[in-house]
Structure 1
Amino acid sequence: MSSEISSRGPADHDVRDQIVIAATEHFSLYGYSKTTVSDLAKAIGFSKAYIYKFFESKQAIGEMICANCLQDIETEIRTAVNEVDGPSEKLRRLFKASVTASLRLFSDDRKLYEIAASAATEQWQAARDYEVRIKALLQDILLEGRQSGDFERKTPIDETATAIYLVLRPYLNPLLLQHNFDHADEAPTHLSSLVLRSLSP
């Protein structure tokens, strides 16, 4: 659906950006599920038909907002990982930054969180792409750890990356996140320590 995210209308990035910015503000105030494209058009001052030149549906606008939001979280995670040396410390940082960034999304902007929840529920392309990129980052750390001799090499690497992702998933997936607040403070430390013990050669 990424081709749908990049619209079917004129390739005028300024107008598309203007629609996304306005939609983000509108969804933040009124919520994603309660807003129609007509509401959005009225709020922005564009006609509904004009918005449809750039985005084929409300979901396409939501996908763009969701992709931007997930990109911000991913950037924060990657920055945290790149600030430290050594695969073990990088893995600890990945756990910590993932939980911190995801919780911030939930607590800072509940209306935008609603878009992320829709993305997870309906398996939007933006959410699937994010999952793939986080798994790839995990796999890079695992490869580094195997090359340095810090991590075991017997288990197939894709199986290991998927298993670790599943441990992290309750803090990356907005639908699961809301049920895991009680342990959010200690979870990154405990979970990363457990994973690191399982990775010992």
Structure 2
Amino acid sequence: MKKTSTSLASARGPVDHEVRNQIIAAATEHFSRYGYEKTTVSDLAKVIGFSKAYIYKFFESKQAVGEVICGNCLGEIEAEVRAAVDQADRPPEKLRRLFKAIVESSMRLFFQDRKLYEIAISAATERWQVTLAHEERIQAMLRDILQEGRQSGDFERKTPLDETMMAIYLVMRPYLNPLILQHSFDYAEEAPAQLSSLVLRSLSP
């Protein structure tokens, strides 16, 4: 996320991180009510009671605010996925849990608030850095499971690791990318089990 310096122009008011949190909280509520695309920085300034210039001391644009909100949502998804994976002992079950947790957490967080979902759509369409970083962390999680499975003998070792990882990631992508996710809703219940089973068969040594 790009941002400008967070130094205050005066000693009045709360400290920097409290102001940033206040802006994010107000922006989240405003976006959820009126939508991301229809909201301007001027709108946020009026709601919060700050000047637009003051908001720009903490965020260089509306997108910068949106990236923080989007990053918070993606962070929740990653935390839930990691917790689900860590509950399994063996790589095949970790992979199953990875699929299941990604679908369930993405569906819940992306669709619990249709207005906030607009931020996810903008982030995916414009390839915000926060979404690219999220994809990289999910890929790293998947790579770790594959490496562990190869070491334990559960997964084949002939195919290059990164090639295998990316192929599986592309299978999962419809449930990670909000642009595609909205068209995958009808298959959300059965998809994790069916897709992970198919992938695991392909990974058999």
- Quote the residue 1:60 is aligned against: 64
Matches of 2:151 and 2:183, distance apart in 1: 37
Unaligned runs of 5+ in 2: 9-15
Structure 1 residue 71: Cα displacement? 0.3
Instruction: Determine if contact 1:8/1:56 at 8 Å carries over to the other structure.
Output: no
- Quote the residue 1:135 is aligned against: 139
Residue 8 (1) aligns with residue 12 (2): no
Structure 1 residue 158: Cα displacement? 0.8
SS of residue in 2 equivalent to 1:53 = coil
Structure 1 residue 21: Cα displacement? 1.0
| CA deviation string 1:109-162 (max 9, x = no partner) | 111111011100000000000000000000000000000000001111111111
- Quote the residue 1:72 is aligned against: 76
- Quote the residue 1:118 is aligned against: 122
Aligned-residue RMSD, C-alpha: 1.0
What TM-score comes out, normalization by structure 2 length? Answer: 0.94
Matches of 2:115 and 2:93, distance apart in 1: 34
Residue 38 (1) aligns with residue 52 (2): no
Question: Which structure has the greater CA radius of gyration?
Answer: 2
- 4+ residue runs of structure 1 moved beyond 3 angstroms? none
What TM-score comes out, normalization by structure 1 length? Answer: 0.96
Matches of 2:97 and 2:190, distance apart in 1: 13
Structure 1 residue 198: Cα displacement? 0.4
| CA deviation string 1:145-194 (max 9, x = no partner) | 00000000111111111111100000010000001111111000000000
Equivalent pairs, count: 198
Matches of 2:74 and 2:110, distance apart in 1: 12
Residue 155 (1) aligns with residue 152 (2): no
Matches of 1:161 and 1:8, distance apart in 2: 38
Residue 105 (1) aligns with residue 102 (2): no
SS of residue in 2 equivalent to 1:54 = coil
Deviates more, 1:116-125 or 1:100-109: 100-109
1:23 partner amino acid: A
Match of 2:180 among 164, 176, 197: 176
| Percentage identity across paired residues of the two chains | 72
